[in-house]
Amino acid sequence: MSKYRIAVIPGDGIGPEILPAGAKVLSAAAERFGFQLQYEEFPYGAGYYKQTGKFMPADGLDILSQFDALYFGAVGRSDVDDTLPAKMFTFKIRKSFDQYVNYRPTRLLPGIRSPLANKTCKDINFVIIRENTEGEFVQVGGFVRPNFPDGFALDTSIFTRRGIERIAHYSFRLAQKRRNKVTNITKSNTLIHSLAYWDSVIEQVRQSYPTVAYEKLYVDNTSANFVLAPERFDVVLTTNFIGDILSDLGGAIMGSLGLGPSGNINPERKYPSMFEPIHGSAPDIAGRGIANPIGVIWSGAIMLEHLEEPEAAEQIVKAIELTLQNGVLPVDLGGSAKTMEIADAVVKNLPSES
């Protein structure tokens, strides 16, 4: 029997409410499909920072590196500087564990009405592949005399051939398993050095995949097409910053950011990958038991797929779909089901035996 050690990091806000819901579903799937998940919980995040001055201990990365995967809720509190969680936690983990793929499905689930008029499940079904360790979010820069009249601030983007090539290869290989199309989202008509280089390297990589359809779109045009023609997209390949923004738009056309899953993936599995919903810590609803757990449950399914338990992953997604089709809806989708009630329904809708 396969065994996987999972580091559970609930984090802040609604994280401690949704992570147990997700773990409950994953544990039920593990039991039914014949593998074991061994959880160990860590209190890292903004709450930990308030107590210790750090988002994780000095040896936190060494501790987490011993696990097969990281299952994460959310990070951030209203009383903690909102520039710190990315710098001191999420970016730190993504870069240290070389999680260069940010994998974010955008799919209209059965039982959910999209905000887009006349669009159905067959129209909204694509995945955003965001380069996750370099680009615009490398945090290279600084301030010069910020409090003086001539003060200024500088942020520098870094795009490397290696970084662009590997995310492009991942995207084209993924497209071969899906509907055989990659759309490169760029803004090289104005960022004429960094993103022109991005485009040129992707153009070179795509020559190795002659059967995969390819197009290049500027991000402003893409934003319009996400709304007007989402059926146009299959695998969306883009940069760290652009992908961060488009992912939220993708979540919106699904019906709610609470539905959106993601994986921060090291495809070579040299380091553990981290799986988390795309929504934030939502402190305004924390403690009320009404947070939507679908995003974190679906993120758990992506984690199982990464751990090479594809049947369990597939059945969790099917159970999510059946739950929603049966009208068990969270508050953000107009329903009244609470967090653990939704998790219980998903567990109930898993097949009784593999």
Section 184-209 average pLDDT = 97
**306-330 confidence digits (pLDDT tens):** 999 999 999 999 999 999 999 999 9
The answer to whether the CB of 72 falls within 8 A of the CB of 274 is yes
pLDDT for 46 beyond 70: yes
19-23, 54-58, 142-146, 199-203, range with the lowest pLDDT: 142-146
Residue 106 to residue 124: CA distance in whole angstroms:
7
**238-291 confidence digits (pLDDT tens):** 999 999 999 999 999 999 999 999 999 999 999 999 999 999 899 999 999 999
Section 139-146 average pLDDT = 90
pLDDT for 354 beyond 50: no
pLDDT for 138 beyond 70: yes
Residue 185 to residue 346: CA distance in whole angstroms:
35
Query: E strand or H helix at 249, and its extent?
Result: helix 240-254
pLDDT score at 353: 60
Where in 227-296 does DSSP place strands (E)?
Answer: 235-238, 261-265, 273-277
Section 38-47 average pLDDT = 97
AA letter at 345: A
In order, the DSSP letters of 284-311 are TTTTSS----HHHHHHHHHHHHHTT-HH
pLDDT score at 352: 78
Is there a common fold for 1-113+256-354 and 131-254? yes
Q: How many CA atoms lie within 13 A of 128 on its CB side?
A: 33
**143-159 confidence digits (pLDDT tens):** 999 999 999 999 899 99
| Structural domain boundaries in the chain | 1-113+256-354, 131-254
The answer to whether the CB of 222 falls within 8 A of the CB of 185 is yes
Give the strand pairing for 101-107 and 261-265. Answer: antiparallel
Section 173-187 average pLDDT = 98
Fold classification of 1-113+256-354 (topology level): Isopropylmalate Dehydrogenase (3.40.718)
Residue 322 to residue 317: CA distance in whole angstroms:
9
Helix/strand/coil percentages in the chain, nearest 5: 40, 25, 35
What CATH code would you report for 131-254? 3.40.718.10
Q: pLDDT over 70 for what percent of the chain?
A: 99
pLDDT score at 137: 87
Name the region of 104 (left: φ>0; alpha: ψ -120 to 50; beta: rest): beta
Section 30-58 average pLDDT = 96
